[in-house]
Amino acid sequence: MNSSEEVQKSRHWMSKEFVVEESDKSEHKVVCFIKAPATALENLVCTIVNDTSSLVVADSEELVSNVISVECSDYEKTIPFPINIAIPFTSCFRGNYREILVKVTDVNFQSNYLTPISLEGCQGNRKETFAEVKVYQLGVFSVLSCLKRETFTVPMVGLSRNLSVDSRISFYYPPETFSSPAVMQLKVQPIEPSLIATLKARHDMYHSVVSTSALVYVQHPSAQPFNNSVTITLPCPPNPEKKRQGEETEQVRAITATVKRVAAAYHPRVMSAPLRKNGENLSDTLKILGHRNKEEWMVFDDITIQNARNGLVSFKLNEHLESFVVIRLSFLLENTFLLLFAQALEEAVCSTMSNVILYRKRENPYKIMVLLSASKELTWEIQNLHEEGYFGPPEPTQQFPLREGEQIHFQFRGNIFASENGTDFGKAYRLIFHSQRKPRLELQIKEVDEFGNYSSPHYKGTAVFYKITREMITKEWSQPLPYGDYQQQSPLCKLPLTLPKHEKLINRPRSTKRIFSDSSEALWDNLLYWLAEELAEDNTSLLALCLPVRRSLLQLVRLKCPDNLTHQIYELLCCWKKSLPRSADKQQLLSRYLQKSGRRDLSEELRFKWQNKVFT
C-alpha cells in the first residue's frame, strides 16, 4: 500500500462490531462498536474481562454492562484520538437520582468518568441500549449507574438553588458567602423507609428513629471558608404515628365543637376551645450528623433545625460538610447511638440483602446452577429457574448483605465435587455480586468415591460459601481463579447436596445368575410393579395406600425415587411385603388395603391375576 492510499484510509472513518463467541452456543455476544479511522480499527483488540469487575466499581456505583478491555495490538501504531466507543448495557433501576456514565480505568487503576454522547437503542443491526462515548485513551471500560452529580457555581451576589434530582432540596447562599465564585458539586442518596425499618428491627436501640432525610454529599473544590451561613432545606418525613394521633385529636375536637355549638343555644356563656392545626406541638427531636474533611461521623448539637411545612426541615451551616443527614427522633437518643446509627445507615445504603441459590436440573441431577440473587428478587429468580428446569432441594441460603463488587467464593466438600468444563474437578469457584446483573455459574457435579456413603441411598456433600470483600481482593488486572485456601476464614453459609447412586449392572456368568427359588416370588414382583403403575396413573399418594408402614420408610422411599411416583409406590409395596412373615396371606392383605383406600377395582383384578397366575 502506497502512502497516498494510507492517508486516504486513515481519513475514512468506519464503524466496526467487535464480538466474542459464547461458550457452548452458536451465537456471538457483542462486546462493543468502535467508530474510528479504518487503519486504527485494524489494530484494536476488544475482550471481555468480567473477572476484574470488582476493581472498577466503588460504593454507590452499579455495574450495568460487561467490563471490556480495548487495546492496540501493534504498539508502534498511533491511534488517532478521539474515537467513539459504544458499549451495550442493561439498566433496570435508574430513577431520578441516578445517571449512566462510562468509566475508563488505565493500567495503574486511575479512572475517569465520561458522560455518554448518546444512549441509543441500536447500533448497526443490533437492537440493544448502547452508551456511546468519545475517548482519548484506551483501557478498561465499564458502564455504570451512578448517583447523579449536580454542579453549579455560586457567584459573589449569592445563589438560591433547587436541585434537579429533587426540587424539594434547596441551598440558599447569601451575597458574599464566598470571597470569589465557588464551584459546588452535590450528590443525593435517597433513603428508603424500609431500610430504616430493617435497621430498627435488628437493633432495639434505634427504636426512637422515626425517619431520615436523604444523604447529601457535597464537594467544595476551592475550599473557601463561609463568610455567611448557608440555609439548606430538605425533606425529612414527619412521624406517621403522631400524624394519626393529630388527625384523631382533630376529629374529637370537631365533635366537641359541634356539641358546644348546640349547647351554646341554651347556655350562651359556654365558650368553645380554639382549634389546633394538624400536627402542631407534636414533640419530635431533629438532629443533624455529618462528616468534616473525611473525619468520622459527628453530631452537631449546636445547629438548630426548624420544621417547615409538608415534612420539610431547614437549618443553617456556617462551615463546609462533605456529607450530612438529618434524623428525626420520637424521643432523645444518646449521641453514641446516633453515631452508630449513621454508620449502620451508610453501610446499609451501599449494601444489598442477597441469597445464594443452588438448584439441580430435574432431568439431570448431575447438572447444577449456582447464582447470587438480591433478596427482593428471590421469588422471581426461583420462578425463572423452574422455567429452565432447575429445582431444589436445597433451599436458598439465609439472606446476607453484599456490597457492589464483593465476591462469593465456594467449594465442595464431602463426597461430591464439581467442574465447570466436565474435566477439571475439585476447584474453588467465584461469583461477583452486582445488583443490576445476575451472576450465575453452571457446573457439573459427581461423586468423589463411588463406594462412599454406603449406608445411604445418596452420595452426600456440602457447598461451602465464603464472602470476599473488595478490600481483600488483590489490585491486579490478572485475577486467577481462587486456589481454595480458606482455612483462616469462617464460612458465610453452607448448602447440603446429594446425588442419587448409580444402578450397577453386574454381568454374571449364566451359572451365577439370580433365579427365583419360587415362581410365586417372580409373580409377586410383576404384580407389585403392575399395581404401582396403575396407582401412579391416578396420582395416588403414598399415604393414601393405607399400608401399615413407618413414616420413616415413606421418607426413605421419597428420597430414593424423588421424581418417579411409580418407583416410589413399587419400593413401598416391596418393603411392606418383606416385612410380612412367610405364612401371611399377602394377596388377601393387599386386597383389603386396596379396598380400604377406595380401589375395589384393583383389589378384584389383583385377586384374579393371583389366582390365575397371570404375569403382567
Q: In whole angstroms, give the CA distance from residue 478 to residue 107.
A: 11
Residue 230 has pLDDT above 70, yes or no: yes
Are the C-beta atoms of residues 279 and 242 closer than 8 Å to each other? Answer: yes
Mean pLDDT within 546-564: 77
Instruction: Say if domain 510-611 classifies as CATH 1.10.533.10.
Output: yes
AA identity, residue 224: Q
Percent of the chain with pLDDT over 90: 51
Q: What is the pLDDT of residue 416?
A: 93
Query: CA distances (Å), 30 to each of 43, 48, 65, 127, in order?
Result: 18, 10, 11, 11
What separation, in Å, do the N-terminal and C-terminal C-alpha atoms of the chain show? 83
AA identity, residue 222: S
Burial of 425 (0-12, 13-18, 19+ CB in 10 A): middle
**Per-domain boundaries in the chain:** 3-147, 150-239+284-349, 353-500, 510-611
Residue 441 has pLDDT above 60, yes or no: yes
Buried b (16+ CB within 10 A) or exposed e, 559-587: ebbbeebebbbbbbbbbbbeeeeeeeebb
24 vs 81, more confident: 81
Q: In whole angstroms, give the CA distance from residue 541 to residue 170.
A: 67
Comparing CA positions, the residue from 466, 465, 460 lying closest to residue 496 is: 460
- Segment holding 600, helix H or strand E: helix 600-611
**pLDDT tens digits along 391-403:** 988 899 999 999 9
Query: CA distances (Å), 280 to each of 130, 220, 238, 247, 307, in order?
Result: 52, 37, 11, 11, 10
Q: Which long-range contacts (CB under 8 A, 24 or more apart) does 491-495 make?
A: 491/464, 491/465, 491/466, 492/400, 492/408, 492/465, 492/466, 492/467, 493/356, 493/397, 493/398, 493/400, 493/465, 494/462, 494/463, 494/464, 494/465, 495/356, 495/358, 495/394, 495/397, 495/462, 495/463, 495/465
Task: Report the 3 state secondary structure along 78-136.
Answer: CCCCCEEEEEEECCCCCCCCEEEEEEEECCCCCEEEECCCECCCCECCECCEEEEEEEC
Comparing CA positions, the residue from 284, 276, 282 lying closest to residue 251 is: 276
Residue 122 has pLDDT above 70, yes or no: no
**CATH no. of 150-239+284-349:** 2.60.220.30
CATH class of 353-500: mainly beta
> Over the chain, what is the mean pLDDT?
83
127 vs 569, more confident: 569
Q: What is the pLDDT of residue 574?
A: 85
Q: In whole angstroms, give the CA distance from residue 445 to residue 497.
A: 10
Q: What are phi and psi of 93, to 5 degrees?
A: -125, 105
Residue 280 has pLDDT above 50, yes or no: no
Residue 128 has pLDDT above 90, yes or no: no
β partners of residue 72: 44
**486 Cβ neighbours under 8 A, 6+ residues apart:** 409, 411, 428, 464, 466
Q: In whole angstroms, give the CA distance from residue 472 to residue 487.
A: 15
Instruction: Say if domain 3-147 classifies as CATH 2.60.220.
Output: yes
pLDDT confidence bin for 615, thresholds 50/70/90: low
What is the DSSP secondary structure assignment for residue 314, as one 8-state letter? E
Cα dihedral across residues 302, 307, 313, 316: positive or negative: negative
Q: What is the pLDDT of residue 172?
A: 97
**pLDDT tens digits along 487-507:** 678 899 999 998 888 765 555
Q: What is the pLDDT of residue 510?
A: 47
Q: In whole angstroms, give the CA distance from residue 75 to residue 221.
A: 38
In a 3-state reduction of DSSP, which class is residue 245? helix
Comparing CA positions, the residue from 206, 87, 17, 142 lying closest to residue 434 is: 142
Residue 274 has pLDDT above 50, yes or no: no
CB 470: neighbour CB atoms within 10 A?
Answer: 16
Nearest-Å Rg of the Cα atoms of the chain is 35
Q: What are phi and psi of 307, to 5 degrees?
A: -80, 130
**pLDDT tens digits along 584-610:** 888 888 888 888 878 888 888 888 888
pLDDT confidence bin for 573, thresholds 50/70/90: confident
- The rounded Cα 476 to chain-centroid distance in angstroms is 26
C-alpha cell at position 567: 418407583
Q: In whole angstroms, give the CA distance from residue 111 to residue 616.
A: 75
Comparing CA positions, the residue from 325, 320, 372 lying closest to residue 344 is: 325
**pLDDT tens digits along 130-175:** 999 999 999 999 999 999 999 999 999 999 999 999 999 999 999 9
Q: What is the pLDDT of residue 569?
A: 83
Q: What is the pLDDT of residue 515?
A: 45
Mean pLDDT within 231-254: 69
pLDDT confidence bin for 9, thresholds 50/70/90: low
Mean pLDDT within 355-372: 93
Comparing CA positions, the residue from 402, 443, 435 lying closest to residue 419 is: 443
pLDDT confidence bin for 305, thresholds 50/70/90: very high
Comparing CA positions, the residue from 419, 509, 525, 430 lying closest to residue 468 is: 430
Q: What is the pLDDT of residue 277?
A: 43
Are the C-beta atoms of residues 432 and 79 closer than 8 Å to each other? Answer: no
Q: In whole angstroms, give the CA distance from residue 44 to residue 16.
A: 10
| 155: Cα within 13 Å, side-chain hemisphere | 3
pLDDT confidence bin for 616, thresholds 50/70/90: low
516 vs 476, more confident: 476
Q: What is the pLDDT of residue 265?
A: 43
Whether 150-239+284-349 and 510-611 share one fold: the answer is no
| 400: Cα within 13 Å, side-chain hemisphere | 20
**pLDDT tens digits along 521-539:** 677 778 888 888 887 777 6
- Segment holding 11, helix H or strand E: helix 3-11
Residue 54 has pLDDT above 90, yes or no: yes
Q: What are phi and psi of 518, to 5 degrees?
A: -130, 130
Q: In whole angstroms, give the CA distance from residue 18 to residue 47.
A: 9
β partners of residue 32: 18
Q: What is the pLDDT of residue 83?
A: 94
Q: In whole angstroms, give the CA distance from residue 607 to residue 600.
A: 11
101 vs 559, more confident: 101
3-state helix, strand, coil in the chain (%, to 5): 25, 30, 40
Q: What is the pLDDT of residue 150?
A: 95
Mean pLDDT within 198-219: 93
